């Protein structure tokens, strides 16, 4: 709620008016900027509220190095993941309650609000007994950190977190669209948050929707890649399998694409496989091309002939995140170019083939 590294002035004005303190108007870091700042030593502390930052981000070995360069890394999480093993010089893992756990605070059992895909907001109460009486909720942990750091300024943090309706009242005072937040939640099923596009509300000078065409690029790969002595074999996109939600893997099957019991595969047009001198089922390494002298490689991927356009390849995320250069991102968006990675294929070393047969 209100988390934005490019916070609009209206939000900052509302926070200053409600809480009577000066809010920094300097822009923060997006993900790519944060990795660079940690790598360069400009950012020294990483606090992760859930998520799997080390694995979800591009240029994995480099991101891991940036996290290890921190003085302190903190993870507030409901379950363990790979990121918790990529630590700064000091590291904390703070287990927290999940949404399905009973969240008992001073004011009684608490509920948190969630928004579904139809913009409906409702309150959710956990039903399961926590694994330990020492476990705290995310709001309680954050409030505890704030209280230890700031005391009762600019609010009484511990009083606020004793009853989450108090937090929602503060949201109602500062975030547009949430007036009478607590009262609206009393309606069965919650309330509809609203969607300007769905309601045909266009906040433009004409009052109408405006469309802006995007000019196709003159070149498919960046100038740095074009200037290299070697040329790419294929353009790789990363993707998710059927048994996957973001970095969480629920199984090794992908029934949509006929893959079972494995994920270290790369989908390529059969003509491309043979044109490059390989056979379906053969194991290869993938090496991405970028003009900074760093080697980015993933090893031992099985070639799968697939109905995909010539010149293209696809493989699963996050296994292929090491191939995405940190500096390769969209203009203005800073979104990593995970759908467009220039790669070359190399035969997998014989040692990998022997290991895979014995596995």
- In the chain, domain spans: 9-194, 223-347
From residue 55, give the alpha-carbon distance in Å to each of 82, 101, 116, 310, 315: 7, 26, 26, 29, 15
Whether pTM > 0.85 for this model: the answer is: yes
CA angle, residues 307, 313, 319, in degrees to nearest 5: 120
According to the model, what pLDDT value does residue 90 have?
99
Asked if 9-194 and 223-347 have one fold, the answer is no
Distance CA 228, CA 13 (A): 49
Could you give the CA distance from residue 24 to residue 17 in angstroms, rounded to a whole number?
14
**Which long-range CB contacts under 8 A does 92-96 form with residues at least 24 apart?**
94/136, 94/141, 95/132, 95/135, 96/135, 96/136, 96/137, 96/138, 96/141
User: In angstroms, how far is CA 209 from the centroid of its own chain?
Assistant: 30
The CATH T-level fold of domain 223-347 is: Barwin-like endoglucanases (2.40.40)
**Residue partners of 6: CB distance under 8 A and separation at least 6:** 27, 28
Sheet with 103-105: strands ordered across: 103-105, 108-115, 120-125, 191-192
Per-residue pLDDT of the chain (359 residues; tens, 9 = 90+): 888 899 999 999 999 999 999 999 999 999 999 999 999 999 999 999 999 999 999 999 999 999 999 999 999 999 999 999 999 999 999 999 999 999 999 999 999 999 998 899 999 999 999 999 999 999 999 999 999 999 999 999 999 999 999 999 999 999 988 999 999 999 998 999 888 888 999 999 999 999 999 888 888 888 889 999 999 999 999 999 999 999 999 999 999 999 999 999 999 999 999 999 999 999 999 999 999 999 999 999 999 999 999 999 999 999 999 999 999 999 889 999 999 999 999 999 865 554 443 33
| Residue among 138, 141, 144, 148 at smallest CA distance from 158 | 144
Cβ atoms of 273 and 303 closer than 8 Å: yes
Residue of 126, 148, 147, 122 lying closest to 135 (CA atoms):
126
Q: Which of 314, 284, 312 is nearest to 298 (CA)?
A: 284
> What is the CATH architecture assignment of 9-194?
3-Layer(aba) Sandwich (3.40)
* CA distances to 109, 132, 214 from 103, in Å: 5, 12, 48
The answer for 152, left when phi > 0, alpha when psi is -120 to 50, beta otherwise, is: alpha
Decide: helix, strand or coil at residue 154.
coil
Query: SS3 for 56-84, per residue?
Result: HCCCHHHHHHHHHCCCEEEEEECCCCHHH
Beta bridge partners, 237, equal: 314
The dihedrals phi and psi of 187, each to the nearest 5 degrees, come to: -70, 140
pLDDT score for 359: 35
């Amino acid at each position: 709620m209100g988390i934005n590294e490019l916070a609009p002035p209206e939000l900052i004005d509302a926070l200053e008016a409600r809480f009577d303190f000066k809010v920094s108007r300097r822009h923060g870091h997006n993900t790519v900027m944060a990795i660079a700042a940690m790598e360069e030593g400009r950012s020294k502390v990483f606090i992760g509220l859930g998520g799997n930052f080390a694995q979800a981000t591009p240029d994995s070995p480099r991101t891991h190095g940036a996290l290890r360069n921190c003085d302190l890394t903190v993870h507030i999480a409901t379950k363990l993941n790979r990121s918790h093993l990529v630590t700064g010089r000091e590291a904390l893992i703070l287990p927290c309650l999940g949404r399905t756990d009973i969240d008992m605070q001073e004011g009684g059992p608490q509920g948190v609000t969630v928004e579904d895909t139809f913009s409906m907001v409702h309150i959710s109460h956990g039903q399961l007994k926590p694994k330990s009486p020492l476990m705290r909720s995310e709001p309680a942990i954050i409030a505890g950190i704030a209280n230890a750091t700031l005391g009762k300024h600019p609010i009484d943090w511990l009083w606020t977190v004793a009853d989450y309706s108090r937090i929602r009242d503060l949201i109602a005072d500062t975030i547009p669209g949430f007036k009478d937040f607590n009262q609206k939640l009393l309606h069965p099923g919650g309330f509809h948050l609203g969607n300007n596009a769905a309601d045909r509300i266009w906040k433009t000078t004409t009052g109408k929707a405006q469309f802006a065409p995007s000019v196709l690029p003159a070149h498919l790969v960046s100038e740095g890649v074009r200037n290299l002595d070697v040329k790419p074999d294929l353009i790789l996109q990363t993707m998710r399998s059927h048994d996957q939600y973001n970095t969480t893997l629920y199984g090794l099957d992908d029934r949509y694409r006929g893959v079972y019991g494995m994920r270290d595969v790369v989908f390529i047009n059969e003509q491309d496989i043979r044109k490059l001198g390989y056979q379906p089922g053969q194991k290869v390494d993938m090496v991405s091309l970028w003009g900074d002298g760093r080697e980015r490689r993933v090893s031992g991927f099985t070639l799968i002939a697939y109905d995909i356009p010539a010149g293209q390849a696809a493989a699963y995320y996050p296994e292929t995140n090491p191939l995405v250069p940190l500096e390769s991102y969209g203009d203005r968006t800073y979104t990593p170019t995970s759908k467009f990675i220039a790669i070359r294929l190399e035969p997998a070393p014989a040692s990998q083939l022997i290991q895979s047969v014995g596995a």
